[in-house]
Amino acid sequence: MGNRQTIKKVLLYIKNYWWLLFFSVFFSAASVICTLYLPILTGYAVDSMADAGRVDFSVLKILLAEMAVMVLLTGISQWIMNVCNNRITYLVVRDIRKDVFHKIQKLPVRYLDSHPVGDIVSRVIADVDQFADGLLMGFTQAFTGILTILGTLFFMIGINVWITLVVVVVTPLSFFVAGFIAKRTHSMFQKQSEVRGEQTGLVDEMVGNQQVVQAYGQEEKVLARFDEINERLKRYSLRATFFSSLTNPATRFVNNLVYAGVGIAGAFFAIQGRLSVGSLSCFLSYANQYTKPFNEISGVITELQNAITCAGRVFALLEEEEEKETAPGDAPEDCTGAVRFAHVCFSYTEDRPLIRDLDLDVRPGQRIAIVGPTGCGKTTIINLMMRFYDVTEGAILIDGRDIREYTREELRGRYGMVLQETWLKDGTVLENILFGREDATREEAVEAAKLSYAHSFIKRLPQGYDTVIQENGENLSQGQRQLLCIARAVLCKPSILILDEATSSIDTRTEIKIQSAFQKLMEGRTSFIVAHRLSTIQNADTILVMRDGKIIEQGDHKTLLSQNGFYAELYQSQFAVE
């Protein structure tokens, strides 16, 4: 994305706070005018004290009182301006973060599966933060700077046009130098940003899985990998930091040349009697005031450059293609639970087909079990049903309607899902169960917990249902977490139930109990059960035996056993005596 587009987008965000911006501009103008008026008053004051015994105290008193008022006005204006700028910056940043988060909800699962969590997190946090810093600096200094330049220009022309000309001709050099440096450093900042992202990714991966790292004594090797990235980061950072920090000295150099030029030219005018000494010193101080903002502005430019690079990365995320919602949203409330797979084909990558021509008709209330060796595409079927991924060919129909014609909310509202991975939210046990259906009452949640055999262990937790689950639910065992996930699904009373290896981390004794809960839950509901533990699926109406993305056998437990095929082989193997 080009810088211009990025800036345009930033401006769109700022637009929402035009009134704050208006205040900011107004008060910054007020403070600049007061600031510039102060030297004039000072000049008058100096004039009023010409020599010993010739000091005009009555004039001096009035002048000093005026000055005091000016000073106070400037202070107040500055403060209001600063507060406005803070507000704009932090509110804009808040809006951007909100939009990014919203965007994440809309991105296809495919995108999130293929991008490291750490990388996306670093955009939401570090990049946006850096952007905020740049923006704030830009606001506080850019506008004030420009006003100061214009104001001083005005006063200088009032004193001497020719010397003003000298200043105006030489100063653009400063811009040129700053622009030159900014251009060169942009790519360095970009590199720095990239390497930072890479490093965050590594830290995320390694710190998140510390147990394995330590179990294999890999601390040193991981550290070596970290150091390699760190070394690269150091190189890029040094370049970015050093070259960008040249901006100030370089522009200051130009300013000092301006100062020297004004000094020489002014002195010659003074010799010719066309400029008084007092006016010259006044000129010199204005020339200083004129060039200082150039320093600041070029500093701001580098900072903004960095900010825009970061914003660019954030906006790039915001630009990613969203999941499209093309469904009319008029699906009927009721759902019988009839599911049909019509010649479904699917592959994660174009060159490697996974599911080929899957054709299956499921009547309402049927229990479908899917078994097969790992990696045969069982979970992929679930991904397709949930529309985490879309079929490449063919269609899946629920109640005769293509699932792409349901909105995702309509579609997913029909399912209750329990996955192998037991993700829980940061929050209390109760909140996690209510995740299934937010309008449920506490009683209903407790009921669901009882049904899924979670109640007894929840009761024993320190604060019962109000126990806070730690990040990643580390104060619960894998099995307990799974029970909560089941309770969550139980609560939402779905038409179609999906259990993707749902009981794989629960012991069989508990599982038997849950089975009866599941039986109850499955009554009148279409259920899909992905399992490897065959004991859990013997009651299924239809068992699909999958291999390499295809259904190779189909039938109930008894039929399949009597066929003496792959299923029978799988089944026997669990009793095999080694």
Partner 1 sequence: MGIVMKKLLIYIKDYKKECILGPLFKLLEAGFDLIVPLVTAAIIDHGIAESDSGYIMRYGGVLALLAAVGLLCSATAQYFAAKAAVGFSANLRHALFAHIESLSFSEIDEIGTSTLITRMTSDINQVQAGVNMALRLFLRSPFIVAGSVILAFLMDAQAAIVFVVVVALLMATVFGIMAVSMPLHKKVQGALDRVLGSTRENLTGVRVIRAFHREREEEEEFEQENNFLAYMQQLVGKISALTNPVTYVLINLALVVLLWTGGVRINAGFLSQGKVVAMINYLTQILIELVKFANTIILANKALACASRVESVFEIHSSLGEGLAEQEEKNNFGDEGGRKARGKGFSGTSPSGAGRDVAGEKMRETSGGTASEVLQKTDKDVAGEKSGGQVIFKRAALRYRGASEPSIEGVDFTAEPGQTIGIIGGTGSGKSSLVHLIPRFYDATEGEVLVDGKNVREIPIDVLRKKIGIVMQKPVLFHGTIRENLLWGNEEADEEALKEALILSQSMEFVEKKERGMDTEVAQGGRNLSGGQRQRLSIARALVRRPEILILDDSTSALDYATDARLRQSLKGLSYHPTVFIVSQRTSSLRHADLILALDDGKVVGMGTHGELLETCKLYHEIHYSQFQKEEMKDGK
**Which is nearer to partner 1, 5 or 276 (by Cβ)?**
276
Region binding partner 1 by CB under 8 A among candidate stretches 269-277, 331-339, 395-403, 439-447 = 269-277
Dist CA 556 CA 540 (whole Å) = 7
Determine the longest span between alpha carbons in the chain, in angstroms: 125
**Residues forming a β-bridge with 476:** none
Among 32, 135, 222, 358, binds partner 1 (CB under 8 A): 222
Assess 328 for contact with partner 1 (CB under 8 A).
Answer: no
Assess 568 for contact with partner 1 (CB under 8 A).
Answer: no
**Which is nearer to partner 1, 68 or 343 (by Cβ)?**
68
CB of 317 to partner 1, least distance (A): 12
CB of 277 to partner 1, least distance (A): 6
Interacting positions 413-472 with partner 1 (CB under 8 A): 413, 415, 417, 419-421, 423-426, 435-436, 438, 457, 462, 470-472
Among 78, 152, 171, 309, binds partner 1 (CB under 8 A): 78
**Which is nearer to partner 1, 22 or 101 (by Cβ)?**
101
Among candidate residues 454, 528, 526, 524, the one with its CA nearest the CA of residue 491: 454
**Which is nearer to partner 1, 129 or 319 (by Cβ)?**
129
Assess 60 for contact with partner 1 (CB under 8 A).
Answer: yes
Task: For 212-321, list the strands marked E by DSSP.
Answer: none
**Which is nearer to partner 1, 42 or 361 (by Cβ)?**
42
Dist CA 178 CA 533 (whole Å) = 68
Among 508, 519, 559, 564, binds partner 1 (CB under 8 A): 508
Among 46, 142, 173, 360, binds partner 1 (CB under 8 A): 46
Residues 6+ apart with CB under 8 A from 123: 100, 197, 313, 314, 317
The one-letter amino acid at 219: E
CB of 10 to partner 1, least distance (A): 17
**Which is nearer to partner 1, 8 or 459 (by Cβ)?**
459
Region binding partner 1 by CB under 8 A among candidate stretches 168-176, 309-317, 335-343, 482-490 = 482-490
Assess 102 for contact with partner 1 (CB under 8 A).
Answer: yes
Phi, psi of 408 (to 5 degrees): -60, -35
Interacting positions 132-171 with partner 1 (CB under 8 A): none
Among 62, 109, 316, 468, binds partner 1 (CB under 8 A): 109
Query: What is the torsional sign of CA 48, 49, 52, 58?
Result: positive
**Which is nearer to partner 1, 8 or 225 (by Cβ)?**
225
Among 67, 342, 395, 440, binds partner 1 (CB under 8 A): 67
Site string for partner 1, 293-322 (x = CB under 8 A): ------------------------------
Residue 418 to residues 141, 426, 436, Cα–Cα distance (Å): 54, 18, 11
- What is the DSSP annotation of 275-292? S-HHHHHHHHHHHHHHHH
Query: What is the torsional sign of CA 138, 142, 144, 145?
Result: positive
Residue in the block written with tokens 């060919």 = 393
Assess 483 for contact with partner 1 (CB under 8 A).
Answer: yes
Assess 507 for contact with partner 1 (CB under 8 A).
Answer: yes
Assess 74 for contact with partner 1 (CB under 8 A).
Answer: yes
Residue 395 to residues 199, 286, 383, 405, Cα–Cα distance (Å): 42, 75, 13, 11
The one-letter amino acid at 483: L
Name the helix (H) or strand (E) containing 396. Answer: strand 393-398
Assess 477 for contact with partner 1 (CB under 8 A).
Answer: yes
Region binding partner 1 by CB under 8 A among candidate stretches 86-94, 332-340, 390-398, 443-451 = 86-94
CB of 4 to partner 1, least distance (A): 27
**Which is nearer to partner 1, 361 or 423 (by Cβ)?**
423
**Which is nearer to partner 1, 394 or 436 (by Cβ)?**
436
Residue 283 to residues 36, 40, 255, 269, 288, Cα–Cα distance (Å): 12, 11, 14, 12, 8
Residues 6+ apart with CB under 8 A from 414: 335, 337, 398, 406, 494, 495, 496
The one-letter amino acid at 306: N
Assess 337 for contact with partner 1 (CB under 8 A).
Answer: no
Among 12, 62, 169, 267, binds partner 1 (CB under 8 A): 267
Dist CA 266 CA 283 (whole Å) = 8
Among 145, 201, 312, 337, binds partner 1 (CB under 8 A): 201
CB of 3 to partner 1, least distance (A): 22
Task: Pinpoint the alpha helices (H) of 395-477.
Answer: 408-412, 429-434, 442-451, 455-460
Torsion of CA 47, 51, 52, 55, to 10 degrees: -20
Assess 176 for contact with partner 1 (CB under 8 A).
Answer: no
Dist CA 131 CA 121 (whole Å) = 15
Assess 369 for contact with partner 1 (CB under 8 A).
Answer: no
Assess 62 for contact with partner 1 (CB under 8 A).
Answer: no
CB of 283 to partner 1, least distance (A): 11
Region binding partner 1 by CB under 8 A among candidate stretches 8-16, 161-169, 178-186, 262-270 = 262-270
CB neighbourhood size of 545 (10 A)? 24
SS3 per-residue string spanning 48-61: CECCCCCECHHHHH
CB of 2 to partner 1, least distance (A): 26
The length of the chain in residues reads 578
Region binding partner 1 by CB under 8 A among candidate stretches 158-166, 179-187, 217-225, 397-405 = 217-225
